[in-house]
Amino acid sequence: MNSEKKTPQEEILEEVKNAEKEKADSSSEAETAGKDETAETAETTDAPKAEEKDKSDKDKKAKKKGTSGVKKVLKSRRFKRGGMATVFTAVFVVVIILINVVVSLLSERFPSMNIDLTANKVNTLSDAALEVAKEVEEETTIYILATDDWLDYANNQGVAYSTLVSLSDKLAEANSKIKVEQVDLEKNPSFVNEYADENLTNGCVVVKTDKRYRVLTISDLFPSESNRQTGSTASYNDVDSALATAIKQVNLSEVPVVSIATGHSEAMTNAFDSLTSFLNENAFDVQQFNILSEDIPENTQILFLGTPNTDYTEDELKKLDEYLSEKESGKTRTLLISATPGQASLPNLMSFLEEWGISYDSTSMVLESDSSRTFGNSALYLSDVDSENGIPDGDYPLLVTPYSVPVTRLFDSNNSVVTYSLAATSEGSYLQKTDSDEDASETAEKKSYDTAVLARKSLDSSGTGAYANVIVLGSTYMLDPSTLNTSTFSNGDYFIDLAKYATDTTNSNNTVYSPRVQAGVQDITATTNVINFLGLGVFTITIPVVILLAGLAVYIKRRHL
């Protein structure tokens, strides 16, 4: 118990200790509170910085992760096999498209790039046509009178107008002075008005320079020829020579003029258009005029009277005489007359011809008794060209003179006029009167008869200059289109050479000849079943399906890489 009692000193000491302890505890609490407050303030201040730091760390980690992911994808087999293939395919497709566009543009600019796969090479220019194109010096335009739809329709009907377009473009490619234009006659009807004398329709071609123009019809471009023996008809593709000839002729500085006189019920009226086309094709300018009311056109070198059936007046005969006597032009000029059995009597014209030493009998027809000089039962009789005088100078083995009247030379020469026999029948020929039904083959005199005669007179006293010619052809039908426009007979060559002789242009060559190509020749021969199998079975179904299946298999395989 004593031990629990404290002395006064001990109690005072204990109280002091307690007071110091309380003071120390108070200081410790205050310090702790200050530290906590400071820490809280520091934490509040540093919070945004911490967040920014955390975000930056996250971005770096994401970027690092993304970069490593891209690298991983780029290095993966899937990308190498799938992605690179896709890129390569896309680039390849783009390149193919660009190549196709470039080739298309180049083929339009340079048509010769297009390969001609036709059997007869109808889309290839001949060397002669190419040479003509290169020599062109005048601005020349080829007008194709047709729309694309019309051309497609014609091609589907077997008329190869694609050849016309192809060769026209190649001619233009050969010389920048040659242009090609398509004309839609429905949208541009005024174009026809510029060629009022021509019967322009779809399919025609007009080749034009400032000097002149030439019109090519469907029959000029794709002529047909009948075989008299078999009765069959063959069509030809003459586009190459027709275009080249037209281009050459419209670029000539000068061509001979042929004037066809009308106004006297001419028997050849229906053949004038075809004769005009024939002469145009061979570098002659042709025009028609009415000799009753009009003067003979200026620069005429051949004046043609196509079997007249009414007589000429004194005024008209005066025109003929003045025409043949004109010397100022210094050019040779020719009066060309055709005749036929049964033709009307023309006493005035006959008197005019007699002054030139020529006469003919329209009441008689020359017949041939030698069967080797006839064609079947027709009146296609052969006449021999007089080779001694060389008028014209050429070889004409099959010159036919159907239904010819006998033409007579009244003298060999008289008053500076000299006459020549141009063509004659065989010694087995005889005359049949047109108004008689009696067969004269047994009773008539058989001998050779002239079927063409020339009278010639110099217009120059020296005899070396221009000449005046009068030519009488006993057969109107020797100039018929069926004989002129066929290679079977020599009439076409003979008449052109005679016209050149009559205009002193014998040495000129204004026609382009290229090998004649038969139209409609099939490049590939196949039956309908073969065509259907190849077209539908192989190219339309089999090949596309195979490509589709192959693409699908590759796609499925690559999906699982």
pLDDT digits (tens, 9 = 90+) for 414-424: 989 999 999 99
Q: What is the pTM for the complete model shown?
A: 0.67
What's the mean pLDDT when you consider all of the chain?
81
79 pLDDT higher than 80: no
Q: Which of 37-46, 189-198, 289-298, 385-394 has the highest mean pLDDT?
A: 289-298
16-25, 44-53, 159-168, 351-360, range with the lowest pLDDT: 44-53
Burial of 133 (0-12, 13-18, 19+ CB in 10 A): buried
Mean pLDDT for 249-258 is 91
Which residues lie across from 262 on neighbouring strands?
290
Dump pLDDT digits (tens) for 117-131: 565 666 788 888 999
- The tokens for 368 are 């041939």
- H or E element: which one contains 334? strand 333-338
Q: pLDDT band for position 171 (50/70/90)?
A: very high
Higher pLDDT, 302 or 520: 302
Neighbours of 482 (CB within 10 A): 16
Separation of alpha carbons 381 and 351, rounded Å: 29
430 pLDDT higher than 80: yes
DSSP secondary structure of 283-333: T-EEEEEETTTSPPPTTEEEEEEE--SSPPPHHHHHHHHHHHH--TT---E
